[in-house]
Structures are given as structure tokens and as C-alpha cells.
Structure 1
Amino acid sequence: MGSSSPRRALIAGATGLVGRELVERLLADPACRSLTVLVRRLDALPPRPKLALVELSDAALASLPALDDVYVALGTTIAVAGSEAAFRAVDLDLVVAVARAARAAGATRLALVSAHGADTRSRIFYNRVKGEAEAAVRTLGFERVAIARPSLLLGHRERLGQPPRPIERLAMRLGPLLGVLPASVRPIAAGAVAAALVDALHRAPSGVEVLTSAGMQSFARAGHRAPAE
């Protein structure tokens, strides 16, 4: 790890595929001394040592405990959110609000789960919003920013009490057949994204690093660093 003393971390989006993997990884990591998780419901996760659940609200964001690291794994879909405006409220506005609040609480390192194709100039609304979120968090004054751009995520949402997304269900069924796809668009396990983000956030003291989906899959296979863009 890049820090000599245990870190105080925050996760937003801990009930999603990558967020749940981040929770497990950080709780098992001796370099993480405390983990605060922002949740919609206080029964969203079972009690665990060094884990504190905080109900997400404006008041909670204004009074976060002292932090060193923040992991933002928030995300929805337009279908689930109900409209483009509602999607933007989560994937851009809430992402930035959490990052800004964590920075005010002392966090110096930020890890963000974005998406393959994120680009502020994209004609695709989803990709454009993801790009806007990336651009916004870069301006908040963090010493270290690690941004993951995974392709389609693989994982079992039903185990998290969430309905599986149709395209993710199809990817899980096709399994090995998808191995013929280019690594940049091949589906990636949520655990691989979490592992690469934690590694990237801690291994360098400063700077911005964008982790590609292909790089994160390479990291998962070989245990080496995920190449950045």
C-alpha cells in the first residue's frame, strides 16, 4: 500500500455489484482501519467489524466523519431511474455531491466507477453523463484519482436483492463464448473492477489514472497493475 498508516474509507454505492465487492475487499484489508458506507436503508448490509452504515441524506453528507479515501460506485440505468433527468441526478449530481462532501471531510484519494466509452462529447447520453462525472470529480482537489471504465459487468444482482439487467443476464449465460470479443468490450467481473481500483488508488501517491476494461481484466488474470490510458 502507498500509505504507512491505516486509512479511513467511505463507499457510496455499496449495494451494487462493484460496491459490494469493494466492501468485502476493504473490510478484509488491514490497510483500511474504518469503513463508512452510505446507504439508502440502514439494514442494507449486515453489521461487521470496522463497518459503519450512514443513511444517505444531505445532512449526512454535511457531517461525514474524517476520511482519507472515498470510493464512488453509484450508478443506475435510465430504465430503472425512469427518465434521463433522474438518471443524471444519480450518475452525475449524486456522484459529485458525495465526492465533494468526502473531500470536505479530508479525503485525499478518490476512486470512481465510471463506464467504458465515458466521454463528455459522446452522442450517447449515458456515456456523456459518465464523462461529465469524470470531468467534475477531477476538479475537486483530490491528490489521487483512480477512474475505472469497465465494460459490461458480470455478477449476480439477484444475490444482492436486485433484479438482473437483461443484457447482464445474457452475458452470464453466454459465458466463455464472449471470450472471443476484444478485451476492451468483453464483459468483466465486478470483483476484477474492485480489485483494480483498490490497487490503483493505493499504489501511487498522486495523479489521475484511468483504468481500461482490458487493463483491469489483464490485472485480474496476472495480478499485475492494470494499464492506464
Structure 2
Amino acid sequence: MAGATGLVGRAVLARLLADKRYSAVHCVGRRAPAQHDLKLAVHLTDSFNEFTVPPPVDDVFIALGTTIKTAGSRAAFRAVDFDAVLAVARAGRIAGATRLGLVSAMGADAHSAIFYSRVKGEAEEALLHLGFPTLVVVRPSVLAGERESLGQPPRAGEKIAIGLSRLFGGLIPANYQAISADKVARTLVEEVATRQGHHVILSGEMQRHEAR
């Protein structure tokens, strides 16, 4: 798994560690996650293009993501949300993984005029060519969760969207209501374990998703 120190990634990792279907979880990243567990192996790296995970690997989960503001430039944003995503997926495939779960974003579209959405969509399309028999992509809307505990500054846009969802939830389409990081993580882990083929799951469907 990559991206375990982020809002959704932290929730995904917690579910993987608690899931009896997994005997070992390998985490790759620049920083170690806060969680500690006997079945967790952490691989620290400064470059996602230069790491290898010892096989066998069954599933890959990618929750990497940043913002253009945080990254500092469009090129730096793309280096995370496209280049690093593809590097992790390739490494997992080489190690034998047959199932891949990706946290993308609502509006992801390789042909979008919006740079953020276009990069997200291009990453989704590129993953299709890696040969994973199962590829599950979740596209959450604005995320609800505590970023302060991750050492991340709160995002003004998220606070506004969360407030609007609470006030006018019934009037806002489900796909664009704020969604908890835990709901996204729960959906991704369960769908990767039970689906075959390529599936894109929108935020509204995740709002209704029940644990199996």
C-alpha cells in the first residue's frame, strides 16, 4: 500500500491490518505510518521509482494524492498523482499482484479542461494498461476527516463543503456531498476483495455502501 500517512490511506491501512484475509501488509512511502502491527512491514523511500517489494504480493492499494498548492507546482503535483501512482502499481504487478485499488477523485477525466481532474483521469487510464485482472477505482467527493492529527493543515474548501453538506445534505446530489475517509476506505477494501474486472465507484455509491 502507498499513501498510508494520508487521510484516506490511514483508514485503508487500519482496515487492512484488522482484516483476517491479509497475513502481511507492506507499506511504502517517505514517512512511516503511525500504526504499529506485527503484520505491518514499512519500506521507506525517497523515490517511488526506485523501490521494490519482495513477492508474493496479492493486492495493491494506492491512496497517494496531494494538491497543487501543497505540491508547489503542476509538475510536482503530477509527480505524485500520476508518476508515483503508476510506479507503485507497476512494482506491485511485477511482484505478482492481481488486484489493485485506487483512490481517485470525483470528476476524474483524462480529457478534462481542469488540470487536477485531467491528471487524475490520466492516471486511471494508465492503470488499465498494466494488466490487473481486478482494478477498483473509488472517486470520493470532498473528504471529511481530521487532518490536524496527520500534521496536515485544514483545507478551507473541505470545511465549507462539509458545512454545506450538513446544512443542505438533502438538496446536494449524493456524488457531491462530503464523505468520510472511513467510508471511502471501507468501500475500497471490500470491493477489491470481492470484485473482478474494472469498476469505478462514485462518491454517492460509497455513501450507501454497507460493510459486508
Q: TM-score, normalised by structure 1?
A: 0.87
Offset at 1:194?
Answer: 0.6
Deviates more, 1:167-176 or 1:156-165: 167-176
- Per the alignment, residue 203 of structure 1 pairs with 194
- Per the alignment, residue 53 of structure 2 pairs with 64
| Residues 7-29 of structure 1 deviation map (CA, whole Å, 9 limit, x = unaligned) | xxxx1000111100001111111
- Per the alignment, residue 79 of structure 1 pairs with 69
Aligned mate of 1:117, from 82, 96, 107:
107
- Per the alignment, residue 122 of structure 2 pairs with 132
Matched, 1:216 2:206: yes
Matched, 1:104 2:94: yes
Q: Could you list the runs of 5+ residues in structure 2 that have no partner in the other structure?
A: none
Amino acid corresponding to residue 182 of structure 2 in structure 1: G
Partner of 2:102, secondary structure, is strand
- Per the alignment, residue 163 of structure 1 pairs with 153
- Per the alignment, residue 4 of structure 1 pairs with none
Matched, 1:49 2:38: yes
CA distance in 2, matches of 1:40, 1:216: 29
CA distance in 2, matches of 1:178, 1:100: 42
| Residues 9-62 of structure 1 deviation map (CA, whole Å, 9 limit, x = unaligned) | xx10001111000011111110011011112124x4243220111102448854
Amino acid corresponding to residue 74 of structure 2 in structure 1: E
- Per the alignment, residue 35 of structure 1 pairs with 25
CA distance in 2, matches of 1:172, 1:120: 27
Identical residues among aligned pairs (%): 51
Question: Is the CA contact 1:188–1:213 (under 8 Å) kept in the aligned structure 2?
Answer: yes
CA distance in 2, matches of 1:65, 1:57: 18
Amino acid corresponding to residue 170 of structure 1 in structure 2: I
Question: Is the CA contact 1:120–1:129 (under 8 Å) kept in the aligned structure 2?
Answer: yes
CA distance in 1, matches of 2:118, 2:98: 26
Amino acid corresponding to residue 48 of structure 1 in structure 2: D
User: CA 1:139–1:178 in structure 2 vs 1: closer, same or farther (change >3 Å)?
Assistant: farther
- Per the alignment, residue 180 of structure 2 pairs with 189
Question: Is the CA contact 1:171–1:178 (under 8 Å) kept in the aligned structure 2?
Answer: no
Counting matched residue pairs gives: 210
Question: Is the CA contact 2:162–2:177 (under 8 Å) kept in the aligned structure 1?
Answer: no
Question: Is the CA contact 2:103–2:137 (under 8 Å) kept in the aligned structure 1?
Answer: yes
> Alignment RMSD, CA only?
1.7
- Per the alignment, residue 2 of structure 2 pairs with 12
Offset at 1:63?
Answer: 2.5
Question: Is the CA contact 1:54–1:60 (under 8 Å) kept in the aligned structure 2?
Answer: no
CA distance in 1, matches of 2:119, 2:204: 22
Amino acid corresponding to residue 158 of structure 2 in structure 1: E
Question: Is the CA contact 2:11–2:181 (under 8 Å) kept in the aligned structure 1?
Answer: yes
Deviates more, 1:14-23 or 1:157-166: 157-166
- Per the alignment, residue 85 of structure 2 pairs with 95
CA distance in 2, matches of 1:29, 1:38: 19
Deviates more, 1:121-130 or 1:172-181: 172-181
Q: TM-score, normalised by structure 2?
A: 0.93
